[in-house]
Structure 1
Amino acid sequence: MSAVRVLRIGAGVEAASLVLLLLNLLTVHAKPLSSLLGPLHGTAYLVVIAATWMLPATASTTSTTSTASTASTASTASTPSTGTRWRALVPGIGGLLVLRRVEKASARPNP
């Protein structure tokens, strides 16, 4: 299973479980439902973070050339950009933010 597919599943579970947790909190506040959804949401959050770190290089990263001015980008050429990784840390919607950034980056033409 690819990292992007794991990320899509994790992002969906993360967002859906957050919505269900908030609905439960605003309505009946059933303790068994909270006990089930809380750990599910936390696990999905961790899966999204791990899947983001496992993503292959995307178009959002800078490609390297042989010039000395771009030598600093050589270490980031095989990983997602730092901004993508930081977005994964946003609780609740981080996975959706990462997916949007990855899809936008893959839609750009490669130079």
Structure 2
Amino acid sequence: MLLNLVTVHWPAVSSVMGPLHGCSYLFVIIATARHPQSAGRLTALALIPGIGGLLVTRQLDRPRPVAPEPVDNNQT
């Protein structure tokens, strides 16, 4: 999109960059929705234009806390 501003909206650049930008936006949303660690909140973050993919990547890169193993008090 910034390239389009620099080229003063040349039709050739716009006709290539517009669909490419739209497809990448949809790819980020679909990839986030299909990710095993994704929740509804992350999919909503992916919908934010421009920065949504970066926010989702940042959230998915965070280490997840490991649940402690259950203690078995019924040892015989």
Task: Provide TM-score, normalisation by structure 1.
Answer: 0.54
Shift of 1:101: 0.7
> Among residues 55, 60, 63, which one is paired with 1:102 in the alignment?
60
Residue 83, structure 1, aligned to residue 63, structure 2: no
Rounded Cα–Cα distance in structure 2 between residues aligned with 1:47 and 1:86: 14
Root mean square deviation, CA, Å: 1.5
SS in 1 for 2:4: helix
Give the structure 1 partner of residue 32 of structure 2. Answer: 52
Moved segments of 4+, more than 3 Å: none
% identity of equivalent residues: 51
Higher normalized contact order (CA 8 Å, seq sep 6+, divided by chain length): 1
Give the structure 2 partner of residue 70 of structure 1. Answer: none
Q: Which amino acid in the other structure matches residue 50 of structure 1? A: I
Shift of 1:28: 2.7
Gaps of 5+ in 2: 68-76
Task: Provide TM-score, normalisation by structure 2.
Answer: 0.76
Bigger helix share: 1
Q: Which amino acid in the other structure matches residue 97 of structure 1? A: L
Give the structure 2 partner of residue 34 of structure 1. Answer: 14
Aligned length: 67
Q: Which has the larger radius of gyration?
A: 2
Gaps of 5+ in 1: 1-20, 58-79
